[in-house]
Amino acid sequence: MSRRPTPPSRTTPAAAPTVRTLSLGAGVQSTCLLLLSALGELPKLDFAIFADTGWEPKKVYEHLDRVEREIAKPAGIPILRVSSGNIRSDALDPSHRFASMPLYVLNQDGSPGMTRRQCSVICTIIASSIMALAIMIKELQVDLRHALMEGRADVPRLGAVSPAQGSHPPFVVTDPLGTEIAPVTAFLRDLALSDTSPLTGRSYGYGLLRWFRLLWLLDVAWDKATEDEVAVLTGWLRTAPNPQRKRRSTKTPPPGSVNLRTGKPMLRAGYTPRTINHALSVVSSFYEFHAHQGDGPVVNPVPASAQRRRALSHRSPLEPKPVLGRARLRQKVPDRPPRSIPDALWDELFEKMGCERDRALLEFYVSSGARAEELLGVRIGDVDWAGQRFYVTSKGTRDREVIPASPAAFLRLASYLDQTGIPAADEPIWRARRGTDRPLSYWAMRRVIQRANSALGTNWTLHDLRHTAAWRMANGGKLTLPEVQAILRHANIQTTSRYLAVRVEEIFDKLAEHYSRPRVQPSYPTGYDPSDIAAVFGA
């Protein structure tokens, strides 16, 4: 494309613009300007602003998504979508300031007329305000790293984790253009070949996607990352809100509050210390792998504690865990004892189950201690009716292991199968009640517990049922601790011993007895005057 040469200016040349911004209306003219800037025919834009009235045609939004996907993002031009609401709703709302649009109306004398057009002016004011803010940020040279660590900036949600074509690795991480990130794929492939669970590969994939999103924002290559970038990641995770914690219902308790009935705290709005430590472990493992391959930086950017590694590398599982200092940037994780459901609250929860399927599941959960996913995957051939036991695919070893359950649980299961019929041999026995015939998923069972929580004002989870089973077994007086460990399939007996902790409810009951006990009054044998005793021995 040829352009006419610019004639030389006779005046003093003006300074270069601080910020180049396009008011993008998603029409022909503004789209062409964005395209010319992306192709280099015009100076590159710092960003484009789309003032959304909330009442644009569907084709406009589809065109805008395509322009952003195929033109703006590959060229590195962010599109900012700003809105002050829905212009149609505002115009029809008598209590709202009238949004002046060029509408055809009838005047008071009956003649046709048109209202003043001020919506474009309002949108222009908003766009100008955003441009002024961008200029201020650029001129003041605000430190993006500091803004991220203080929670004043966010990391764009670019890239994705998607299933791979094969099993080594089972998942891959892609960049914003859909291209597979080769260093991450090599690491995840090695992880899969080391006989880890596919869910572990998926978890590590999301951890590395979070890391690469930060590196893309900071414009740092993965093999040039240092401890400074890891510090930014840690600070951002400490201050950023967790999108998984967003709740639409206004009736949901505030994050971090404690449920007065259960004593359990609600999840915090941000990332938990365990999540932050897991993110650091993922990044550290990624760079350890590439250091072994001769790639990446010479020094792992994630700080490590050499003393801690030496102390824990050859420790026996039977030995108590030594108290050691944390490595830098690692978060302090509170050691809370497992939370079991007291008998009175358990009875309330059981009564809220609306069908025989849910009651049978709760009986199995609380008598066997099986994990939620393990029990939901049981098929009819896995049930040993005579032996009062069933087989599950264990989470850790992925082997078929036997678990006993109570007779009441099998009676509930028999009643449930009498109502619904026996499913196919290769299908799980727990089926969804609504819609097409399909297995009951973890999320559906989780929703069953959530509905009961809403009615009872509690915040129990499916894993609390396993805690309840473990606490009953460990404190019932009939099973030894190694026997409970075998049923729960814990690798370390110290994990099982945590269920021997005293519950707060029991402490409250004993304290109530202590407070209500009458004060002991001193008594003396017959013939002794209390005043003489006080004079000799003191009051």
Q: Which of 87-91, 402-406, 499-503 has the highest mean pLDDT?
A: 402-406
Q: What is the dihedral of CA 491, 494, 498, 500, to 10 degrees?
A: 110
- Checking if the pLDDT of 118 tops 70, the result is no
Share of the chain above pLDDT 90, in %: 34
Q: Using an 8 Å Cβ cutoff, are 429 and 414 in contact?
A: no
pLDDT in tens, 485-494: 888 888 888 7
- Checking if the pLDDT of 235 tops 70, the result is yes
- Checking if the pLDDT of 10 tops 50, the result is no
Distances in whole angstroms, Cα of residue 184 to Cα of each of 26, 181, 278: 36, 6, 17
- Checking if the pLDDT of 140 tops 50, the result is no
**Predicted confidence band of residue 268 (pLDDT cuts 50, 70, 90):** confident
**Predicted confidence band of residue 6 (pLDDT cuts 50, 70, 90):** very low
Averaged confidence pLDDT in the chain: 82
pTM of the model: 0.64
Query: What mean pLDDT do residues 5-25 have?
Result: 60
The DSSP element (H or E) to which 292 belongs, if any, is helix 273-292
Query: What mean pLDDT do residues 57-63 have?
Result: 89
Q: Given this model, what pLDDT does residue 100 score?
A: 56
Non-local (6+) Cβ contacts of 473 within 8 A are 369, 479, 483, 484, 487, 488, 499
Query: What mean pLDDT do residues 309-331 have?
Result: 73
Q: Given this model, what pLDDT does residue 2 score?
A: 42
Q: Given this model, what pLDDT does residue 510 score?
A: 77
- Annotate 462-499 with b (16+ C-beta within 10 A) or e (fewer): bebbbbbbbbbbbbeeeeeeeebbebbbbeeeeebebb
**Predicted confidence band of residue 5 (pLDDT cuts 50, 70, 90):** very low
Structure-token pair, residue 496: 């099982």
Residue among 51, 93, 47, 52 nearest 72 (CA): 47
The DSSP element (H or E) to which 231 belongs, if any, is helix 227-239
**Predicted confidence band of residue 39 (pLDDT cuts 50, 70, 90):** confident
* Beta bridge mates, 29: none
Q: Given this model, what pLDDT does residue 446 score?
A: 93
CA distance linking residue 96 with residue 92, whole number of Å: 8
- Checking if the pLDDT of 339 tops 50, the result is yes
- Annotate 298-321 with b (16+ C-beta within 10 A) or e (fewer): eebbbbeeeeeeeeeeeeeeeeee
CA distance linking residue 138 with residue 143, whole number of Å: 10
Q: Given this model, what pLDDT does residue 359 score?
A: 94
